[in-house]
Amino acid sequence: MSTIERAEVFVASPGRNFVTLRVTTSDGVTGLGDATLNGRELAVAAYLRDHVVPLLIGRDPARIEDTWQYLYRGAYWRRGPVTMTAIAAVDTALWDIKGKVAGLPLYQLLGGRSRDGVLVYGHASGADVPALLDDVARFRELGYRAIRAQAAVPDVGGTYGVRKGVVYEPAASSLPDEQPWSTEDYLDFAPTYLEAVRERFGFDFHLLHDVHHRLTPIEAARFGKRVEDCRLFWMEDPTPAENQESFRLIRQHTTTPVAVGEALSSIWDVQQLISEQLIDYVRTTVVHAGGITHLRRIFDLAALHQVRTGSHGATDLSPVTLAAAVHLDLAVPNFGIQEYMPHVPETAEVFRSGVRFDNGMLHPSEEPGLGVEYDEEAAERFPYEPRYLPVARRLDGSVHDW
Ligand code: CS2
Ligand code: MG
C-alpha cells in the first residue's frame, strides 16, 4: 500500500504571498494544496508544519474522507479560517494525488462534466466614473460576459476594490493601511456608477458589485432596493455574515440577488443563509472552506435550496485553488459563476497551471489530477514578506469593516 512519505510547506511571494503544501507518496506521486490566508499566511504554515504534517506521515493517501475527519475532529478545536485552510490544503493535495493515480483530470472524479466551460467574471474598477466605464469596455473587449464594477467614492477615497496596478492587490503594505470610509457617501455614489454602466453598455452582460461587508442590514436593504433597475447579477457581502439571520431584513426589502461566503470557512457558517434562502450564491472556496471534500457538502446543501455557487477567486487564492475550483465548477449541478482575477506573470513562474481562459469561460487542464505543478527552485527567488490587508476607519476615526 502506498503511504504519505513527505509533506512540505512552501511560503513564497511570486507576485504576492502564497503558502503551498506538497504531499509526496511512497510511490513518488505528488499532490498540491493551497494554504494561503491573506494577511495571516504564517499562522496556517505553522499549523500545518507543527501540528498536521507529523500526523500525515505513514497515512494512506487514498483515504481522503478519513483524513478529513481525522484532522477536523481530532483537533478538538473546530472551525475557523486557519484550521479550515490547513485541512483544505491537505484535502486538495490528496484529491490531486487520487486524480494522478487514477490517470484522470479531477473533474472526472467529481461526477464528470455538467457544462462545457466555467463562466467567470472580471474586475473593472476606476478612480472615477469615466475610468470605470473605460475599464468595463476593456473587459467586454476581452470577452468577459460578466463584469464586477467598483469605483472610488469622490473626496473620500479608500473605497473597496479600486485597482492601482495591473491587478487588484489589497494586501499591499507591511502594516495595515488605514483607509477612510463614509457609508453615506457610498450609498449616494455607488448606485450612480452602476446606473452609468448600464446606461453606457446595456444589459447584454452580467453586472456584479461587491459591497464588501460595509453596510448594516437596513442600509444593505436600501442599497439593494435602489439598484434593482441595474439588474445586478449579485450584490456581494452586503453586510457582515456572522449574524446569518440579519439577512432576513435584506430579503424583506429587495429582489437584488445576494452573494456571501468568501470570508466563511464551514458549512455551519452558511447553513442558515442557505436553508432559509437568505442568499442566492454561496462564495465559499476550496482553500478556505476545508477543501474539495467540505466544499462539495456546502454546494450540495446549496443545491437543495436553489442556491448556486459563486466561489471567490481573487489573486490571493493561488493557482492551485483556481484549478481545483474550475474542476469542481465544471461538475456541480448548481454552478453559478466563478470569480477570476488573473495572477501576475511572476506567479506563473512558480505555479505551472493548465487552466485557460477562452470566450468568457475557464477550462481545466485535461492532465491527471489538478493539472498544476509547483517549481520550488523558482519560488526561492521570491521570499515571503509580511503583508497586511487594510483597516477601514469611519470619518470619525472609529474602525469599520474593511
Ligand atoms: C474580494 C477580495 O474578490 C473579492 O470579492 O472580496 O478581493 C478580498 O477583499 C480579498 O480576497 C481579501 O484577501
Ligand atoms: Mg468579495
Catalytic entry in 212, 294, 327, 400: 212
Q: How many Cα atoms are found within 13 Å in the side-chain-facing hemisphere of 277?
A: 6
Ligand 2 centroid–CA 285 distance in Å is 12
What per-residue confidence (pLDDT) applies to 150?
Answer: 97
Ligand 1 centroid–CA 6 distance in Å is 32
User: Is there a single domain that holds both residue 117 and residue 100?
Assistant: no
The 3-class SS string of the chain reads CCCEEEEEEEEECCCCCEEEEEEEECCCCEEEEECCCCCCHHHHHHHHHHHHHHHHCCCCCCCHHHHHHHHHHHCCCCCCHHHHHHHHHHHHHHHHHHHHHHCCEHHHHCCCCCCCCEEEEEEEEECCHHHHHHHHHHHHHCCCCEEEEEECCCCCCCCCCCCCCCCCCCCCECCCCEEEECHHHHHHHHHHHHHHHHHHHCCCCEEEEECCCCCCHHHHHHHHHHCHHHCCCEEECCCCCCCHHHHHHHHHHCCCCEEECCCCCCHHHHHHHHHCCCCCEECCCCCCCCHHHHHHHHHHHHHHCCCEECCCCCCCCCHHHHHHHHHHHHHCCCECCEECCCCCHHHHHHEEECCEEECCEEECCCCCECCEEECHHHHCCCCCCCCECCEEEECCCCEECC
Instruction: With a cut of 80, say whether residue 165 has pLDDT above it.
Output: no
What per-residue confidence (pLDDT) applies to 95?
Answer: 99
Domain hosting 212: range is 109-367
Measured between alpha carbons, how far is 198 from 233 in angstroms, rounded to an integer?
12
Q: Is residue 384 part of a domain?
A: no
Which CATH number do you get for residue 158? 3.20.20.120
Atom of ligand 1 nearest to the CA of 39: 13
The 10 Å Cβ neighbour count of residue 28 is 8
With beta carbons less than 8 A apart as the criterion, state whether 48 and 86 touch.
Answer: yes
Atom of ligand 1 nearest to the CA of 313: 3
Q: Is residue 217 part of a domain?
A: yes
Calculate the CA 214 to chain-centre distance.
18
User: Is there a single domain that holds both residue 134 and residue 224?
Assistant: yes
Atom of ligand 1 nearest to the CA of 210: 5
**What tens digit of pLDDT does each residue of 302-322 get?**
999 999 999 999 999 999 999
- Domain final position from 87, 104, 121: 104
What per-residue confidence (pLDDT) applies to 167?
Answer: 81
Instruction: With a cut of 80, say whether residue 166 has pLDDT above it.
Output: no
What mean pLDDT do residues 328-356 have? 98
With beta carbons less than 8 A apart as the criterion, state whether 22 and 31 touch.
Answer: yes
Which of 121, 209, 210 for mutating ligand 1's site (highest number of atoms within 8 Å of CB)?
210
User: Is there a single domain that holds both residue 86 and residue 135?
Assistant: no
Ligand 1 centroid–CA 314 distance in Å is 6
Of the pLDDT bands very low, low, confident and very high (cuts 50, 70, 90), residue 159 is: confident
Nearest to 14 by CA among 313, 384, 289, 399: 384
Measured between alpha carbons, how far is 19 from 274 in angstroms, rounded to an integer?
30
Atom 12 of ligand 1, nearest CA residue: 38
What per-residue confidence (pLDDT) applies to 158?
Answer: 67
What mean pLDDT do residues 55-77 have? 98
Atom of ligand 1 nearest to the CA of 236: 5
Ligand 1 centroid–CA 396 distance in Å is 25
User: Is there a single domain that holds both residue 268 and residue 190?
Assistant: yes
Query: Distance of CA 29 to CAs 5, 33, 68, 321, Å?
Result: 10, 14, 20, 19
Q: Is residue 349 part of a domain?
A: yes
pTM for the full model?
Answer: 0.98
Atom 6 of ligand 1, nearest CA residue: 212
Atom of ligand 1 nearest to the CA of 283: 5
User: Is there a single domain that holds both residue 127 and residue 274?
Assistant: yes
What per-residue confidence (pLDDT) applies to 189?
Answer: 96
Instruction: With a cut of 80, say whether residue 7 has pLDDT above it.
Output: yes
With beta carbons less than 8 A apart as the criterion, state whether 370 and 92 touch.
Answer: yes
Q: Is residue 394 part of a domain?
A: no
Looking at the CA of 314, name the nearest ligand.
Answer: 1
Instruction: With a cut of 90, say whether residue 164 has pLDDT above it.
Output: no
With beta carbons less than 8 A apart as the criterion, state whether 223 and 251 touch.
Answer: no
% of residues, the chain, pLDDT over 90? 95
Measured between alpha carbons, how far is 129 from 154 in angstroms, rounded to an integer?
10
Measured between alpha carbons, how far is 198 from 402 in angstroms, rounded to an integer?
27
Which CATH number do you get for residue 90? 3.30.390.10
Which of 262, 315, 388 for mutating ligand 1's site (highest number of atoms within 8 Å of CB)?
262
Measured between alpha carbons, how far is 25 from 2 in angstroms, rounded to an integer?
6
Atom 10 of ligand 1, nearest CA residue: 314
Question: Cell match 439598484: residue?
Answer: 227
**What tens digit of pLDDT does each residue of 88-116 get?**
999 999 999 999 999 999 999 999 999 99
Q: Is residue 257 part of a domain?
A: yes
| Number of structural domains the chain divides into | 2
Catalytic entry in 160, 281, 340, 374: 160
Which residues have any ligand 1 atom within 6 Å of their CB? 38, 170, 210, 212, 236, 262, 312, 314, 316, 339, 389
Q: Is residue 77 part of a domain?
A: yes
Ligand 1 centroid–CA 193 distance in Å is 20
Looking at the CA of 338, name the nearest ligand.
Answer: 1
Q: Is residue 138 part of a domain?
A: yes
With beta carbons less than 8 A apart as the criterion, state whether 335 and 116 touch.
Answer: no
**What tens digit of pLDDT does each residue of 192-216 get?**
999 999 999 999 999 999 999 999 9
Buried b (16+ CB within 10 A) or exposed e, 53-79: bebbeebebeebeebbebbbeebeeeb
What mean pLDDT do residues 172-192 have? 95
Active site residue 144: no
What per-residue confidence (pLDDT) applies to 142?
Answer: 97
Average pLDDT value for the chain: 97
User: Is there a single domain that holds both residue 169 and residue 310?
Assistant: yes
Atom of ligand 1 nearest to the CA of 38: 13
Of the pLDDT bands very low, low, confident and very high (cuts 50, 70, 90), residue 338 is: very high
Q: Is residue 381 part of a domain?
A: no
User: Is there a single domain that holds both residue 221 and residue 97?
Assistant: no
Active site residue 160: yes
Looking at the CA of 40, name the nearest ligand.
Answer: 1
- Domain final position from 47, 74, 104: 104
**What tens digit of pLDDT does each residue of 359-389 get?**
999 999 999 999 999 999 999 999 999 999 9
% of residues, the chain, pLDDT over 70? 100
What mean pLDDT do residues 264-292 have? 98
User: Is there a single domain that holds both residue 148 and residue 62?
Assistant: no
What per-residue confidence (pLDDT) applies to 237?
Answer: 98
Ligand 2 centroid–CA 64 distance in Å is 30
Ligand 2 centroid–CA 125 distance in Å is 14
What per-residue confidence (pLDDT) applies to 186?
Answer: 96
Q: Which three cell numbers stand for residue 391?
A: 483597516
- Domain final position from 104, 122, 151: 104
